[in-house]
Amino acid sequence: MRAEPTRRARPLPREDHQMSKIVALDTYDIRFPTSRELDGSDAMNPDPDYSAAYVVMRTDHPGLSGYGLVFTIGRGNEVQKAAIDALAPHVLGLALDEVVHDLGGFARRLIGDSQLRWLGPEKGVMHMAIGAVVNAAWDLAARLAGKPLWRFIAELTPEQLVATIDFRYLSDALTPEQALAMLRAAEPDKPQRIARLLAEGYPAYTTSPGWLGYSDDKLQRLAREAVAAGFRTIKLKVGLNVEDDVRRCRLAREAVGPDVEIAVDANQRWDVSAAIGWLQQLSETRLAWVEEPTSPDDILGHAAIRRAVAPVPISTGEHTHNRVMFKQLFQAGAVDLVQIDAARVGGVNENLAILLLAAKYGVRVFPHAGGVGLCELVQHLAMADFVAISGRKDDRAIEFVDHLHEHFVDPVRIRQGHYLAPSQPGFSAQMREASMRDHLFPEGRVWRQAAPDAATG
């Protein structure tokens, strides 16, 4: 593993791309009309149209581009696209080498724009846009190295990995030196873990049975199918009506039997005291975790809920907007486990910081996925974490929802409740050309055919 430079399988001889530049940052407003089917309905999101502000970082080397996306649920996707466009001046004209050999510097260039920073800092629309562009740069670097992103990250040296991370505001919890020591400790077993990953895959859990819009029968049928397909954990959406939730948890337990785990997700529905009362009523079902019981910003609220309902495991993270918030969730003992999201924080770099923090605090990570493209992206981060950071995978799992994978060039592959390790170079974010064209909003075929009132955005 140490012989990084010679092992890197470059599809291009160095001299061919040495003079290459970033020549375009093209953005697309792509939306899927999922609200027509009620797939993806939960207590806070009754009618999402799964969408992506999609970015293609084009180089002047024929056929070489990097791909990234921000996942949204419909309206506002155009705002997200405008935010990515605002980053173009930082990217256009950069030498390819400046990007792929200094991914830390590239991210800091975007995050450090002193004027754009006012719009966050490091949160919401602008930070998610930065994440998409930074992820496109990692995709580009992994493609150039000829590796899937999980392996590209896993085969960085500890020094290279630490150099990609912005430790600002983290040093009271994690210093670069501590991160280096953790990564060095994980070094010797990396080859063996890569072999295990390739052989076994990475555990998945599924949310497919549990959407609020589904009938009891559909819930039970899908829960049984999930178990038959090899999943060891399922997740139900809760939070609209407590009697319904008690019944649905009971039906789910009936369907999956005693050995499969059931998690629930309230999607931020409750205040602190409401969460405590609701969870006490759900106590007959043993829960693997309770996700997003309240505002994702409420670190102290999560800590209070966790204390009140112990030992029920408490979790949040898919809307946690940056590493400073994750740091505090860990410092406050607010969570038993966390979700990470590949397209909410400022890109791979920040997710690596979060994975290091989680490992340091001994908190398990159950990556958030679903939506469109989130499974494709986040699998790489979980697998890199297993190989190079935490060294663990069998006490955790990546969310899986079987939606919209057909629109990607390198879709996830699930076998017996496990994600198989991607083998194609890059971050798996590239969409199929026909899918992009058809789902462009509002001019694509799918939206032109929709009822007129569905296309008003």
Mode of pairing for the β-strands spanning 202-210 and 418-419 = antiparallel
Q: Which of 165, 272, 357, 365 binds a copy of itself (CB under 8 A)?
A: 272
Report the C-alpha gap between 107 and 80 in whole angstroms.
18
Residues ≥6 apart with Cβ < 8 Å to 241: none
Report the C-alpha gap between 443 and 436 in whole angstroms.
11
Window 170-199: contact mask with a copy of itself (x via CB under 8 A):
xxx---------------------------
Strand partners, 408: 431
Report the C-alpha gap between 317 and 325 in whole angstroms.
9
Q: What tokens appear for 322 in the block?
A: 């940056």
Quote the least distance from Cβ 294 to a copy of itself, whole Å. 6
Quote the least distance from Cβ 86 to a copy of itself, whole Å. 5
Characterize 20-57 residue by residue with b for buried, 16 or more Cβ atoms within 10 angstroms of its Cβ, and e for exposed.
bbbeebebbbbbbbbbeeebbbbbeeeebbbbbbbbbb
The region of 205-213, 218-226, 318-326, 435-443 touching a copy of itself under the rule CB under 8 A is 318-326
Q: Which of 21, 61, 224, 319 binds a copy of itself (CB under 8 A)?
A: 319
- Residue 325 lies near a copy of itself (rule: CB under 8 A): yes
Active-site residue among 123, 235, 237, 439? 237
- Residue 36 lies near a copy of itself (rule: CB under 8 A): no
Whether omega before 311 lies within 30 degrees of 0, making that bond cis, reads yes
Q: Which of 75, 218, 250, 286 binds a copy of itself (CB under 8 A)?
A: 75
Active-site residue among 17, 321, 368, 407? 368
Question: Toward a copy of itself, which CB reaches closer, 169 or 241?
Answer: 169
Quote the least distance from Cβ 87 to a copy of itself, whole Å. 9
Question: Toward a copy of itself, which CB reaches closer, 102 or 167?
Answer: 167
The region of 244-252, 257-265, 289-297, 415-423 touching a copy of itself under the rule CB under 8 A is 289-297
- Residue 166 lies near a copy of itself (rule: CB under 8 A): no
Q: How far apart are the first and last CA of the chain?
A: 49
Q: Which of 59, 72, 206, 339 binds a copy of itself (CB under 8 A)?
A: 72
- Residue 451 lies near a copy of itself (rule: CB under 8 A): no
- Residue 428 lies near a copy of itself (rule: CB under 8 A): no
The region of 60-68, 253-261, 324-332, 358-366 touching a copy of itself under the rule CB under 8 A is 324-332
Q: Which of 12, 23, 119, 242 binds a copy of itself (CB under 8 A)?
A: 119
Report the C-alpha gap between 327 and 361 in whole angstroms.
9
Quote the least distance from Cβ 260 to a copy of itself, whole Å. 30
- Residue 49 lies near a copy of itself (rule: CB under 8 A): yes
Q: How far is CA 420 from CA 149, 181, 280, 400, in A?
A: 14, 29, 38, 12
The region of 13-21, 47-55, 102-110, 380-388 touching a copy of itself under the rule CB under 8 A is 47-55
Question: Toward a copy of itself, which CB reaches closer, 327 or 396?
Answer: 327
- Residue 120 lies near a copy of itself (rule: CB under 8 A): yes
237 catalytic residue (yes or no): yes
Q: Which of 59, 65, 80, 316 binds a copy of itself (CB under 8 A)?
A: 80
Question: Toward a copy of itself, which CB reaches closer, 118 or 188?
Answer: 118
Window 81-110: contact mask with a copy of itself (x via CB under 8 A):
-xx--x--x---------------------
- Residue 45 lies near a copy of itself (rule: CB under 8 A): yes
- Residue 65 lies near a copy of itself (rule: CB under 8 A): no
Catalytic positions? 237, 368
Q: Which residues bind a copy of itself (CB under 8 A)?
A: 44-49, 72-76, 78-80, 82-83, 86, 89, 113-128, 168-172, 268, 271-274, 294-301, 304, 319, 321-322, 324-325, 327-328, 331-332, 456-457
